[in-house]
């Protein structure tokens, strides 16, 4: 009849044997790989592959050995309740360990495959999107200057001189489908673009806590004489510390006529937060507006 100590010694010897075999194989393979120099990335990848393979193999082998020992204790040491109980404790402790090793390896490789598949799909989608946009002339997708709904003139090209009443009036305009406009294009007398005011920013202007010595009338009232200069230099909470004036003028990109929608998208992406591209003859901001491309037109082209 095996004693409890003998059983524990057997289990310990088995674990030492398995660990020794695993270490021997790992170092042996590493030594062989060292004889054939390879790029660092390939060597690292090869070692990870080998380590994962060995962990799975020897986790299975170790689980089998421990199971055999536990069964042996159950058969030959049935009269020794302490031995049986202790062997079960050992088995219960080692089983989650082996399962965790194998589970970690499987999770790593399956997640790696999923990530690679998702990366390839995204890369293909980006390439397809670029090809699709390059096939669309910018003039075909843009809103021509004479079709833009919601424009306001800046006297002398100065944003600060824009009457607030005119902005409020422009935001009451409707698109051909009856929907209210979401942005107002501000132009110079020569039809160059000063900036684009989005409804969200307009709403923020109206809701901001003004300094105690400042009052602003945001109503569409012919008697309203206030100008954007009253809020031009106030900080925008959504874009702090940027001012409202900087927000209106600084988030507009420019593209030349004769290009493609891919060019417009590129100019838009070069400015964080930009959603508007103004098309001029050569792409200069001082030239008269030929058309207007928003993120909406680009989105429609991609969905087509």
**pLDDT score for 126:** 46
**pLDDT score for 41:** 47
Question: What is the chain's Cα-based Rg?
Answer: 36
Weakly modelled stretches of the chain, pLDDT under 70:
1-95, 97-99, 101-102, 105-106, 108-130, 304
Helix/strand number for the chain, H first, E second: 10, 7
Q: Give the tens place of pLDDT for each residue, 107-137.
A: 766 665 555 555 554 454 445 466 888 889 9
**pLDDT score for 115:** 56
Q: Give the tens place of pLDDT for each residue, 72-115.
A: 655 555 555 665 565 566 666 666 766 676 677 667 666 655 55
**pLDDT score for 113:** 56
**pLDDT score for 120:** 56
| CA atoms of 85 and 91, how far apart (whole Å) | 10
- What residues does CATH 3.10.580.10 cover in the chain? 138-303
CB atoms within 10 A of CB 94: 19
**pLDDT score for 237:** 83
**pLDDT score for 303:** 80
Q: Does domain 138-303 have CATH number 3.10.580.10?
A: yes
**pLDDT score for 23:** 59
Q: Are 161 and 155 in contact (CB under 8 A)?
A: yes
């Amino acid at each position: 009849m095996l004693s409890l100590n003998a059983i524990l010694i057997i289990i310990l010897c088995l674990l030492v044997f398995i660990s020794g075999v695993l270490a021997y194989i790992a170092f042996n393979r590493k030594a062989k790989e060292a004889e054939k120099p390879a790029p660092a990335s390939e060597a690292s990848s090869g070692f990870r592959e080998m380590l994962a393979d060995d962990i799975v193999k020897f986790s299975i082998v170790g689980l089998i050995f421990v199971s055999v020992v536990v069964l042996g204790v159950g058969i030959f040491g049935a009269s020794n309740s302490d031995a049986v109980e202790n062997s079960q404790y050992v088995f219960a402790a080692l089983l989650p360990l082996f399962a965790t090793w194998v589970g970690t390896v499987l999770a790593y490789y399956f997640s790696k495959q999923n990530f690679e598949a998702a990366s390839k799909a995204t890369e293909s989608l980006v390439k397809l999107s670029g090809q699709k946009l390059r096939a669309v002339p910018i003039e075909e997708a843009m809103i021509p200057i004479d079709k833009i709904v919601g424009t306001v003139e800046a006297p002398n090209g100065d944003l600060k001189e824009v009457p607030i009443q005119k902005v409020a009036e422009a935001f009451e305009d409707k698109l051909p489908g009856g929907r209210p406009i979401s942005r107002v294009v501000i132009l110079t007398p020569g039809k160059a673009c000063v900036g684009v005011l989005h409804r969200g920013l307009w709403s923020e202007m109206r809701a901001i806590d003004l300094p105690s010595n400042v009052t602003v009338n945001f109503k569409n009232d012919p008697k309203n004489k206030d100008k954007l200069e009253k809020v031009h230099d106030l900080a925008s909470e959504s874009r702090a510390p940027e001012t409202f004036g900087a927000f209106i003028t600084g988030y507009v990109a420019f593209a030349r006529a004769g290009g493609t929608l891919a060019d417009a998208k590129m100019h838009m992406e070069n400015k964080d937060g930009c959603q508007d591209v103004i098309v001029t003859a050569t792409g200069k901001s001082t030239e008269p507006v030929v058309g207007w491309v928003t993120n909406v037109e680009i989105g429609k082209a991609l969905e087509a």
